[in-house]
Amino acid sequence: MFLPTTHKEMQTLGWECLDVIFVSGDTYIDSPYTGVALLGKLLVEKGFRVGVIAQPDITNDADIKRLGEPRLFWGVTSGSVDSMVANYTATKKWRKSDDYTPGGMNNRRPDRAVIAYTNLIRRYFKGTCPIVIGGIEASLRRIAHFDFWSNKIRRSILFDAKADILAYGMAEATVVELARALDQGRDVTKIRGLCYISKTITNGYIELPSFEKSAADKQEFSNGFRLFYANNDPVTAKGLGQQHGDRFLIQNPPQPFPSTPEMDEIYNLEFEREAHPFYTQAGKVKALDTIRFSIPTHRGCYGECNFCAIAVHEGRTVRWRSRESIINEARALTRHPRFRGIITDIGGPTANMYGFECKKKYDKGACPDKRCLFPKVCQSLKPDHSSQIELLRQIRTVPGVKKVFIASGIRQDLIFADKSHGMTFLKTVVAHHVSGQMKIAPEHTETKILELMGKPDSAALIEFKAQFDRLSKENGKQQFLTYYLIAAHPGSTMEDMKKLKQFCSTILKIRPEQTQIFTPTPSTFSTLMYYTGTDPFSGKPLFVERNPLAKEGQKNILTGNRKRK
């Protein structure tokens, strides 16, 4: 069943009105990989009536009024991607294509979509029920943040959007608890995992430097970000408050991470794995090629790379589904009319973090003074790939499944840290789960840049390539590694890129293609480096390339592209 997106579909379901309406910058894809579909289906499972308005026209009321007004709340999201990242390249050029828009043309997602859609609702529904913003754009902009596209510190998006509530993180428990509280007329301000605006800061909450101080002083901004980052673990986090003018942004502590049974409940929901027919009239949705027959097995990441926001959005503690739940989903895929026997990906933010965690984190939370994988794999983590090996074996035996590929990135340092099962896992992957190319993400090879990125040195990369090539040859397969690399990360100079180019040529023996220019997205340490020009861990000044042409020049060193005249 699709969630209704037209009044006719509501009538078919016998629904006179909706409890919740989600408004999204993506087209409506009914998939466990899209937040609107997952949250919507979960709310329906809990007894609420939910509809979706995808990519509404913001110039008139035709789309936003299509389903009427919800009884409990509006849920507003930019979609699976921050709208500014979706609309602009790292050098601020307009992107012509959008994988989440039917037909592929980037003409349906407005800049700062969360703000645009909230304004649209306010324009045509005066005095409406609460507007709740969420998803990646709202979650990572929930405090005063550096905005690369305007090159300034912006207020919390909750203030700029003039919404009522912000649900941050993955938000399943928050959204269900919120719907129940609103339905019963109860106070919502104590619900974990949400932000709201108040005249005063909550007693016992940590006060961050105000928006005004953060905008005026880079050191104050840096101090505030470090406090914010340190209070994202549900076991240890305190509530936060940040003054904006005469009011405070209040951030309640995060929701507890879901258990395996709770993860199973979420992902056992039924999905069509298609774009809604109402929207596909405009053309094919390219994103479906990637996610239609992919299976999410876990979430969260303790890799904690400084340029990545997953640790803030999903958390530093990895949670996973049971093997039974995942295998049942594989069986369900075989009944899909489009399925041809290929599961295109099975994994999570990092493919080989399934099934093991540091046990200390469950009781004490993530360590405040060290990381799980940087500079080396922590001895307390104890990587163990045995559960994932067995999971992959069982999925390979599901009738109707011909191939199961791992398209998510793999951490090679975790493989070598697992002395008992790491090489068995790699042998299994090489023999059965590579679609010709395997993606890994070293990002760079120069030690000083890797340290700024929070990535391990290149020793594991060199060993991994040697083992991958050897095992591929033993299996009689022509298989290749593709490497994600970053140009113009804070600290990176032209000379560093030349050394990376030399490493790629002599050690990896490739001409890099998967190279991207660093984009300073909100709520990452690398963005903090970009804005302040300082290494936040040492306090030392840092070279930052800000010139768009020079950024292109760093990339061109790797790719060999000549500058356009």
Residue indicated by tokens 């408004």:
23
One-letter amino acid of 381:
L
- Is 195 annotated in some ligand binding site? no
Q: Count of CB atoms within 10 A of residue 395's CB?
A: 22
* Beta-strand runs (E) in 90-246: 131-133, 145-147, 152-154, 165-167, 194-198, 206-208, 240-244
- Is 378 annotated in some ligand binding site? no
* Contact call for residues 153 and 214 (beta carbons, < 8 A): yes
Please give the Cα distance from 366 to 193 (Å, whole number): 18
Q: What residues contact residue 156 under an 8 Å CB cut-off, 6+ apart?
A: 141, 142, 143, 144, 145, 166, 195, 211, 242, 244, 249
Bridge partners of 483, per DSSP, are 440
Please give the Cα distance from 481 to 438 (Å, whole number): 5
Q: What residues contact residue 5 under an 8 Å CB cut-off, 6+ apart?
A: 28, 51, 52, 53, 54, 66, 67, 276, 278, 279
The three-state DSSP-derived secondary structure of 337-402 is CCCCCEECEEECCCHHHCCCCCHHHHHHCCCCCCCCCCCCCCCCCCCCCHHHHHHHHHHHCCCCCC
Q: Given phi > 0 = left and psi -120 to 50 = alpha, else beta, which region is 376? A: beta
Among 36, 85, 31, 32, smallest CA distance to 56 is for 36
Which H or E run includes 224?
helix 218-230
Among 220, 200, 199, 201, smallest CA distance to 211 is for 220
One-letter amino acid of 165:
I
Q: Given phi > 0 = left and psi -120 to 50 = alpha, else beta, which region is 301? A: beta
Please give the Cα distance from 239 to 251 (Å, whole number): 6
Pairing of strands 345-347, 403-404: unpaired
Bridge partners of 343, per DSSP, are 404
* Contact call for residues 149 and 94 (beta carbons, < 8 A): no
Residue indicated by tokens 């068995």:
424
* Beta-strand runs (E) in 245-336: 247-251, 294-296, 298-299, 319-320
Torsion angle, CA of 178/180/184/187, rounded to 10 degrees? Answer: -20
- Is 129 annotated in some ligand binding site? no
* Contact call for residues 452 and 526 (beta carbons, < 8 A): yes
DSSP result, 26-82: S--B-STTSHHHHHHHHHHHTT--EEEEES--TTSSTTTTTT---SSEEEEE--SS-
Please give the Cα distance from 192 to 259 (Å, whole number): 16
Give the residue ranges of the annotated binding site for [4Fe-4S] cluster.
301, 305, 308
Give the residue ranges of the annotated binding site.
301, 305, 308
